Amino acid sequence: MERSTIVTYLEANKDRMLNELLDLLRIPSVSADSSKKEAMQKTAEAVKQRLTEAGADNVEICPTDGYPVVYGEKIIDKNKPTVIVYGHYDVQPADPLELWDSPPFEPVIKKTPIHPQGAIFARGSCDDKGQMYMHVKAFEIMMKTNTLPCNIKFMIEGEEEVGSPSLGPWIKKNKEKLKGDIFLISDTSIIANDTPSIDTGLRGLAYMEVEVTGPNRDLHSGVYGGGVANPINVLCKMIASCHDENKHVTIPGFYDKVVELSDDERKEMAKAPFSIEEFKKDLNIEDIYGENGYSTIERTGIRPTLDVNGIWGGYIGEGAKTVLPSKAFAKISMRLVPNQNSDEISEIFQKHFECIAPKGVKVIVKPHHGGEPFVISPTNPAYQAASKAMEETYNKKPVPTRGGGSIPIVALFKEELGLDSILMGFGLDSDALHSPNEHYGLFNYYKGIETIPLFYKHYAALSSK
């Protein structure tokens, strides 16, 4: 397979490949929003149709207990290796809508300083419809130019953004269908468009909801204030006590299983280009913040965290209402690193919160979805194939990095199917995933489509040795 064959086909079909993605982005497939059920089905059907057009066989919309998985395959030779492509067609909710410069499901292309060739602004453009669709187009190129060197299976799910609750059971029931050698996923970031990188890990997640109840009803804050525990005051104090002055998490046992990296590994990580000044400028913050003794790259990659995602209670309407609320709530997530376990961390969190609550309030801790961390060695031959593919198209060897985000199902691929995952992402952290004005560079979209077939080339070559 020559790179020029891919580039020629890509150049001739660029505009169509872009328009197809824009069509996909127009369907509001928000998995968290139960009013979007129809859009979810429509998106699954669109993915099915596109896979079929690209040349996949046995394409089907597989029902699960939740939103369906779209499956398709091309088996060229049973003796050749099989790559399974994973991606997700669901997206995060678009709100707050008023902060979008253009409607989230009406994609527009605009230039930005980081994307001088233009970027597609739409919810899901980067996470993950844009990145997932690169694989469909790369597959089309390999089919149409007769260069597919190994077997391929697609598994595109619709519940990633809500924790993939139905995918685990579906995998367990479909192990035969999912026989393969490696997962290939584009749902992570690269450092910069002139600095390719490949994630060698993902953090796990434990997500909790805390409800603190004080008095049995909202009270007059003058008549009762000072005489009963205010659940919001109490919750704030409990949350604040979760970090010490060094910004370490104080929950007993939290760090017990954390794998510390060796000095050599940390030195290797520190080679990844990172500018604190640009980081601060991008986020408009005066200074960085985080656990003492670790760099920003380490804090967001190899260290576990505890963050409040939302907190509410009491009066938040217009003006002032003097009230001592009966209840306070918070959603708290903990990002986990190898070898922490989400069930264990959820349990010690729950015990800790029950233990530090003062008498006078009741605390209920409810775990939401979780997921386990994942790591892969850069010496893995499939990682090497991805590295070679990116080196060919970026003219630079990609840097191994750790992704701070989570794709919980990746650990399950390893546990249930015994398969590793290659996290060959093409988005940028600054593409505003999950935020208003999410976008994806045209450069990134086309570069991904161009690079993916080369992964197959190098992977097939490795496996035939």
Quick one: what does residue 163 bind among ligand BES, Mn ion, none, with the CB cut-off 5 to 8 Å set by partner type?
ligand BES
Q: What is the CA radius of gyration of the chain?
A: 24
Which residue(s) pair with 202 in the sheet?
374
Applying CB under 6 A, among 196, 405, 448, 453 the residue interacting with ligand BES is: 405
Beta carbons of 425 and 190 less than 8 angstroms apart: yes
Nearer to ligand BES, 158 or 231 (CB): 158
| Cβ atoms < 10 Å from Cβ of 351 | 14
Residue owning tokens 């660029």: 14
Closest CA to 387 of 402, 398, 376: 398
Nearer to ligand BES, 81 or 405 (CB): 405
Applying CB under 6 A, among 407, 410, 412, 419 the residue interacting with ligand BES is: 407
- What is the rounded distance in angstroms from the CA atom of residue 255 to the CA atom of residue 345? 10
Residue type, 58: N
Quick one: what does residue 408 bind among ligand BES, Mn ion, none, with the CB cut-off 5 to 8 Å set by partner type?
ligand BES
Least CB distance from residue 403 to ligand BES, whole Å?
3
Residue least distant from ligand BES (Cβ): 405
Applying CB under 6 A, among 80, 144, 369, 414 the residue interacting with ligand BES is: 369
Beta carbons of 191 and 273 less than 8 angstroms apart: yes
Applying CB under 6 A, among 403, 441, 448, 453 the residue interacting with ligand BES is: 403
The reply on whether position 365 binds ligand BES by CB under 6 A is no
Nearer to ligand BES, 140 or 199 (CB): 199
Quick one: what does residue 453 bind among Mn ion, ligand BES, none, with the CB cut-off 5 to 8 Å set by partner type?
none
The reply on whether position 398 binds ligand BES by CB under 6 A is no
The reply on whether position 408 binds ligand BES by CB under 6 A is yes
Q: Is the dihedral of CA 453, 383, 414, 86 positive or negative?
A: negative
Q: Where are the alpha helices (DSSP H) in 252-360?
A: 263-270, 276-283, 296-301, 342-356
The site string for ligand BES over 322-361 (x = CB under 6 A, - otherwise) reads ----------------------------------------
Phi, psi of 153 (to 5 degrees): -130, 140
Least CB distance from residue 190 to Mn ion, whole Å?
14
Residues that bind Mn ion (CB under 5 A): 127-128, 187
Q: Sort strands 82-88 and 182-185 into parallel, antiparallel or unpaired.
A: parallel
| Cβ atoms < 10 Å from Cβ of 207 | 20
- What is the rounded distance in angstroms from the CA atom of residue 132 to the CA atom of residue 128? 6
**Residue 378, token pair as written in the block:** 């850069």
Quick one: what does residue 90 bind among Mn ion, ligand BES, none, with the CB cut-off 5 to 8 Å set by partner type?
none
Quick one: what does residue 330 bind among Mn ion, ligand BES, none, with the CB cut-off 5 to 8 Å set by partner type?
none
Q: Where are the alpha helices (DSSP H) in 174-283?
A: 231-240, 263-270, 276-283
Quick one: what does residue 157 bind among Mn ion, ligand BES, none, with the CB cut-off 5 to 8 Å set by partner type?
none
**Contacts of ligand BES in 133-192 (CB under 6 A):** 160-161, 163, 187-189
Compute CA distances 325 → 221, 301, 310, 329, 332, whole Å.
Answer: 8, 38, 17, 11, 20
Least CB distance from residue 42 to Mn ion, whole Å?
20
Nearer to ligand BES, 90 or 140 (CB): 90
Would you tell me which residues interact with ligand BES (CB under 6 A)?
127-128, 160-161, 163, 187-189, 202, 205, 369, 371, 403, 405-408, 433
